[in-house]
Amino acid sequence: MNSKKEHMLEALELAKRGSLTTSPNPMVGCVITHNNEVIGRGWHERSGENHAEINAIEDVLSNLGNKSKEALKESELFVNLEPCTTFGKTPPCADSISEYGIRKVYFGNEDKAQQGFSKLLPGIEVESGLLEEEGRKLNKGFFSRIEKGRPYISCKVASALDGGIALPSGESKWITSSDSRKDVHKIRAYSDAILTGTGTIQKDNPQLTSRDSGLDEGSYKQPLRVVVDRNNVLTGKENIFSSGTQTILFINQESQLKDKENVEIAKLNATPNLPLEEVVRYLAEEKLINNLMVEAGSGLINSLLLERLVDELILYRGPKLLGENRQSFVNLDVAAEKLGTIDLEIEDIEEIGEDIKYSLLPKY
């Protein structure tokens, strides 16, 4: 016999099927049971389309035919996020749950963007908090945008064993293996946007697109590319301006760059003292960015750490030594006075090819 947790685990697994396509909406999966047997499954497949609960109800109708309505009146619904109660691009799921008379609803996480399912429908029995931690981890970007007003921010760093990210000359290409680079492209595909600085663009001239991830190209949308150019160093000819992928620029008022087909000039001016917190809040409010990946040099990473904006460091360490006078990913000699010691919680360690990948959570 399946337990409540097992049904919710299945809902969470179903939710992951929308990981490349639901943003800015959260990933949501739903399981409907009758006498503890699953009679319907569904997940939110794409932003603007049916939510998970509606797809699960439709699955019940398809599976049980003319017996479905009676079964639904005696059913229990498991969904990792509180059912929506407000109109968006689709009607509220709460209406359909009420219409079909579903007896009890289990959900993992409250949705503070909604009006409260149990308050609006007090006649339906509700149990919340089931696998809450797992649900928050799955939708950490969505919860960050809704609750903090900014995206979940991950900084990618590739370093040698001695902590260097570049030789004294600044040369840094291929510290890590092709397997790690493929993994980075996969993270890009799962990200809504990638933030970089002008130093990285001038040095590496990256495209910042997801190309070699191993994922089907048609299964995901290229992330929005984000550049902060405080000193007007960009010319408009760099790879970051390549067609087919959107780029947003935060520029100084004196910049000559203008909006064009795939380039948008942000309404927020990149003054010398503009806090990066304002940039990431702009991305959340104006662009509905849930997950922001940072691929930049030590200057931008330093600034993000000083403002305590980094939620996760993704560190790839390759079996190389860069030696004396190597460049470090964070200039702690300068930052330590303001920043203090940063404790890092190791969330995960993974071998990727000949490299080691660490997922580290700063504890400010």
Task: Dump pLDDT digits (tens) for 191-238.
Answer: 999 999 998 898 889 999 998 888 887 788 999 999 999 888 998 889
Cα(257)–Cα(263) distance, integer angstroms: 9
pLDDT for 257 equals 85
User: With 0-12 CB in 10 A as exposed, 13-18 as middle and 19+ as buried, what is 216?
Assistant: exposed
Cα(268)–Cα(282) distance, integer angstroms: 8
Assign 217 to helix, strand or coil.
helix
CB contact at 8 A, 357 and 350: yes
Q: Tokens 């002008």 map to which residue?
A: 198
In single-letter form, the type of residue at position 136 comes to: R
pLDDT surpassing 60 at residue 335: no
pLDDT for 272 equals 85
User: Which helix (H) or strand (E) is 141 found in, with range?
Assistant: helix 140-148
Residues labelled catalytic? 53
User: Which helix (H) or strand (E) is 183 found in, with range?
Assistant: helix 178-190
pLDDT surpassing 80 at residue 345: yes
CB contact at 8 A, 93 and 84: yes
User: Which helix (H) or strand (E) is 359 found in, with range?
Assistant: strand 355-363
pLDDT for 334 equals 46
Please compute the mean of the pLDDT values over residues 239-244 and round it to a whole number: 85
Condensed to tens digits (0 to 9), the pLDDT of residues 170-195 reads: 555 567 888 999 999 999 999 999 99
Condensed to tens digits (0 to 9), the pLDDT of residues 293-316 reads: 999 987 898 889 889 999 999 999
Cα(350)–Cα(331) distance, integer angstroms: 26
How many Cβ atoms from other residues are within 10 Å of residue 65's Cβ? 9
C-alpha distances out from residue 55 to 18, 63, 81, 228, Å: 13, 12, 15, 41
pLDDT for 146 equals 95
pLDDT surpassing 60 at residue 21: yes
Q: What is the largest CA-CA distance in the chain?
A: 75
Split at pLDDT 50, 70, 90, the class of 50 is: very high
Cα(327)–Cα(140) distance, integer angstroms: 32
pLDDT for 152 equals 98
Percent of the chain scoring above 70 in pLDDT: 90
327-328 and 164-166 as β-strands: parallel, antiparallel, unpaired? antiparallel
